[in-house]
Structure 1
């Protein structure tokens, strides 16, 4: 007797659930009241929580925007680009005024395309392509341009559209680093500025103890309202997910020092793919600006950095 495609699908689904339950069913129990509710990812291009606040605040003269956060008659040109050595990020690309230049994960480099318009472009002013030149340490072959939706030409570095951050008011500031889990300082070659190439997940020694960090060195967190058994379930949805971006899945062999059991990805009801450590969903925090920040630690008594074995560091014992 032939098995219908529907029966086969049900069998495959049951097998997948059983496999996940087997991997995740040994530690922990469901958090009381947690539920698997679909989330809505940020759709306005602002890159997550913490960005909108920058659209109306004072920004200083360095980024080419007025004190009311509005663009003047002409955005400040990049001038002669330079490379600045940052203790936190290594080699960072700056404009002629020393202001940090950034890239946006939702943009594309091949072909170059900007997905930051409207309020997003107020918080993250696009860098004009006109008059941009390569200074010491910058390969002029990396410089290009992309035509934005409004017809203006934006500077690209290695194909990636370049921006300033409205909250950076002085030369050398990197307050835009890691905002929303989507904005990062530019390296001279268009890649994300970083001191070293890190594994997808690794372990870092901090004042909190050994904690897990992502590929950008940003602290990874757990939400106590989530559950890991019998399957991974995130209780962080909607606006929560904008403040606490889900860590994207990485292969287990692309991690270092993190417990391998329960180290896997899962797909949320909203379609977002999320990584787990010991089957617990993990996140970064939009309030962490540079590697080493742990500003999310203890927020609301429910958010804690993750230990290498998946436990919440510093969480009160029940």
Structure 2
């Protein structure tokens, strides 16, 4: 009797292990998912990176939420310093798109091991960010029958190595994975304009160059005829701003935007016909160390007026 009981127990245990193994295998198996038009299977994707660190699988709140296939909820738009506007889920985790997917008709080519690193975002419960075009939100039916969120046709994923809201560690992985912009395109910051404006906490709206450095006026210059009184050693402290195309400006009044020839043969930019400069004493964007120097140098307002200069 003891022998029979032990044999039966071993058989039951083996069957349980086999069932569990089969279920786990089925979870990760399958061909590429397709949209509602069922365009057929595609090859499994590669170049998706690894979700595992040295010695084991990645862990953390972000990975656990992604692995669990949590709904995205109310989508949101975050601003990243390098990427500009980035689409996130309701918890602030970045959503990604895959270059090897297809947007029209929607199809995901991330299957098998790819899904361990890039869990698909469920379509159920996802709503558009405030002020965004809700018609861009859609879904694609995956091979296992689940619905994956799409933005303008592009399937959306989380990245297993993003452990905190705001992380964008998946950006550029394999040269094929990119953070999604709110419209489903790849997120990328706009190229800075040659001249633009920024809000300074003390000076108000002032003009900055392409690097974000404060732009100044010299009270000893003249606007008509356009003439610079800063020459020689003066230019070492106050470099002249090089010519900028009118169309390469944002927020600056275009009237009076022009260039003029300096005595040394170089050209300098003007705002409202006034020559403009940067200051060598400003080390980083946001510095205004040149403001009021010598009672003759002042930051430039969008209309070309000197900010804070005595009237």
Same fold flag (TM > 0.5): no
Short-chain TM bin: 0.3 to 0.5
Name the structure, 1 or 2, with higher relative contact order (CA <8 Å, separation 6+): 1
TM-score when scaled to structure 1?
Answer: 0.44
TM-score when scaled to structure 2?
Answer: 0.45
